[in-house]
């Protein structure tokens, strides 16, 4: 058997490996803090809009009034999607998983972009604005078609999130709902070198275009260990059904060594600061909710208390951003199958910001594998095997 002279240290899943320097996002897993470009996530979630946070991520500074207005106008003017992409959505929406439709539709946006191959920073920024704007349109249209309705053209002169809700629901959303979805978009916009951002960077590092890179990001986000965890967490809450069943369910799941989705994190060994923001929303909405939403909120709050008592301090397993989203999205009228597509519609800003930054000093990703198989085997002709 072939063995290298020195057995290398293998960092399974790249655990603990730094892949680059970055000024975009600081995740403090020990203290449970998160900063975008130096600004604490709770401050941004409280005060900002998704457009403002996207600008911050892309340009590295908060926009002044004029800069924000001009950025909003750019996004506003890019909301429409080409007919070819609409046709793809029509063809796939009911036959495929929404993330599969999203992945294909985003990849197909190249049909209306003459600058695909222009990798200059200015062209990339223009493409990124298109992507940030159009992904929300695609997600809303997938949602509408799956609900048996038809496309609604984007509205002009309203905010990004307000327009997303308008396209999805066919009516104006109230201010609290707009604020909540803005909060979700902000919380999910960025998270350093998570799997989908890394996948984006790997593809981009080959100098493939931003559409290819982002399509990789969407593919990576699809998995239940990444973007899909919020769906799984809600499915668990729906299976629990009644808040009084929560304790038995959690006990049995933990005894059976089952993972509880929405808990644990590769980096956070403290309470995820995004989950803290969402818990505040949950407690607030609990006061005025009833029926199914109330039950889900109660299940979430009881499960969180139990899990924190059992696995928090002792094992460093705390709620992550995905745990509370299910009951909140249910309150917001977002169907479960759109949770991950919505995550993509927010994370697009982070993917783009990282790609811009990485391309400034691009280096092809090419890690190594430690080969442990045989070598120099005798080749036996097919008819002799």
Ligand X SMILES: CC(C)(COP(=O)(O)OP(=O)(O)OC[C@H]1O[C@@H](n2cnc3c(N)ncnc32)[C@H](O)[C@@H]1OP(=O)(O)O)[C@@H](O)C(=O)NCCC(=O)NCCS
List residues with catalytic annotation.
265, 322
Minimal distance, residue 198 CB to ligand X, in Å:
14
Instruction: List, as one string, the DSSP characters of 283-344.
Output: HHHHTT--HHHHHHHHHHHHHHHHHIIIIIHHH---B-TTTTHHHHHHHHT--GGGHHHHHH
For 69, residues 6+ apart whose C-beta sits below 8 A from its C-beta are none
Minimal distance, residue 261 CB to ligand X, in Å:
5
Q: Are 356 and 311 in contact (CB under 8 A)?
A: no
Minimal distance, residue 280 CB to ligand X, in Å:
19
Minimal distance, residue 362 CB to ligand X, in Å:
28
Of 264, 273, 327, 350, the residue at the interface with ligand X (CB under 6 A) is 264
Assess 266 for contact with ligand X (CB under 6 A): yes
Assess 262 for contact with ligand X (CB under 6 A): yes
Assess 322 for contact with ligand X (CB under 6 A): yes
Stretch that binds ligand X, among 141-149, 290-298, 313-321, 331-339 (CB under 6 A): 313-321
Conformational region of residue 246, where left means phi above 0, alpha means psi within -120 to 50, and beta covers everything else: alpha
What CA–CA distance (Å, rounded) separates 342 from 338? 6
Stretch that binds ligand X, among 116-124, 200-208, 319-327, 339-347 (CB under 6 A): 319-327
Q: Which is nearer to ligand X, 90 or 266 (CB)?
A: 266
Of 104, 320, 325, 349, the residue at the interface with ligand X (CB under 6 A) is 320
Q: Which is nearer to ligand X, 129 or 236 (CB)?
A: 236
Q: Are 237 and 326 in contact (CB under 8 A)?
A: yes
Q: Which residue is nearest to ligand X (CB)?
A: 264
Q: Which is nearer to ligand X, 143 or 262 (CB)?
A: 262
Assess 260 for contact with ligand X (CB under 6 A): yes
What CA–CA distance (Å, rounded) separates 163 from 134? 11
The DSSP symbol for 263 reads B
H-only helix segments in the chain:
41-47, 50-59, 65-77, 83-92, 98-108, 121-146, 160-169, 175-188, 195-204, 210-221, 229-240, 246-255, 273-286, 291-307, 313-315, 325-332, 339-360
Minimal distance, residue 13 CB to ligand X, in Å:
7
- Here's the x/- map for ligand X, 3-22, by CB under 6 A: it reads as --------------------
Strand order in the sheet with 39-40: 25-28, 33-36, 39-40
Of 138, 161, 199, 229, the residue at the interface with ligand X (CB under 6 A) is 229
Of 4, 225, 239, 283, the residue at the interface with ligand X (CB under 6 A) is 225
Minimal distance, residue 62 CB to ligand X, in Å:
26
What CA–CA distance (Å, rounded) separates 174 from 190? 26
Of 144, 265, 274, 302, the residue at the interface with ligand X (CB under 6 A) is 265
- Interacting residues with ligand X (CB under 6 A): 225, 229, 259-266, 317, 320-322
């Amino acid at each position: 058997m072939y063995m290298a002279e020195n057995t290398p240290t293998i960092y399974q899943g790249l655990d603990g490996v730094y892949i680059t320097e970055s000024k975009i996002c600081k995740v403090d897993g020990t203290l449970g803090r998160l900063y975008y470009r130096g600004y604490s996530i709770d401050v941004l979630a409280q005060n900002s809009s998704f457009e403002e946070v996207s600008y911050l991520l892309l340009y590295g500074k908060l926009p002044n009034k004029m800069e924000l207005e001009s950025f909003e106008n750019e996004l506003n003017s890019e909301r429409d999607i080409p007919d070819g992409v609409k046709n793809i959505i029509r063809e796939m929406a009911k036959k495929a998983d929404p993330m599969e439709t999203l992945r294909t539709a985003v990849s197909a946006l190249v049909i209306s972009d003459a600058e695909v191959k222009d990798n200059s920073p200015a062209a990339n920024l223009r493409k990124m604005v298109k992507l940030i704007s159009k992904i929300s349109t695609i997600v809303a249209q997938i949602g509408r078609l799956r609900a048996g309705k038809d496309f609604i053209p984007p509205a002009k002169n309203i905010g990004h999130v307000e327009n997303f809700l308008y396209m999805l629901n066919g009516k104006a959303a109230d201010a609290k709902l707009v604020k909540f979805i803005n909060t979700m978009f902000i919380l999910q916009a960025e998270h350093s070198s998570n799997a989908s951002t890394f996948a984006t960077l790997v593809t981009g590092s080959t100098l493939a275009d931003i559409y290819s890179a982002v399509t990789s990001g969407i593919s990576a986000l699809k998995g239940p260990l990444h973007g899909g965890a919020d769906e799984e967490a809600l499915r668990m809450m729906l299976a629990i059904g009644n808040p009084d069943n929560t304790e038995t369910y959690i006990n049995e799941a933990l005894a059976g060594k089952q993972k509880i989705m929405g808990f644990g994190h590769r980096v956070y060994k403290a309470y995820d600061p995004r989950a803290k923001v969402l818990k505040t929303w949950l407690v607030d909405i609990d006061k005025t909710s009833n029926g199914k939403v109330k039950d889900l909120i109660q299940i979430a709050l009881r499960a969180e208390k139990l899990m924190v008592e059992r696995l928090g301090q002792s094992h460093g397993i705390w709620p992550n951003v995905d745990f509370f989203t299910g009951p909140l999205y249910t309150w917001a009228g977002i169907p479960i199958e759109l949770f991950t597509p919505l995550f993509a519609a927010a994370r697009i800003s982070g993917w783009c910001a990282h790609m811009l930054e990485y391309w400034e000093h691009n280096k092809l990703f090419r890690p190594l594998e430690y080969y442990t198989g045989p070598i120099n085997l005798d080749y036996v002709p097919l008819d002799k095997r």
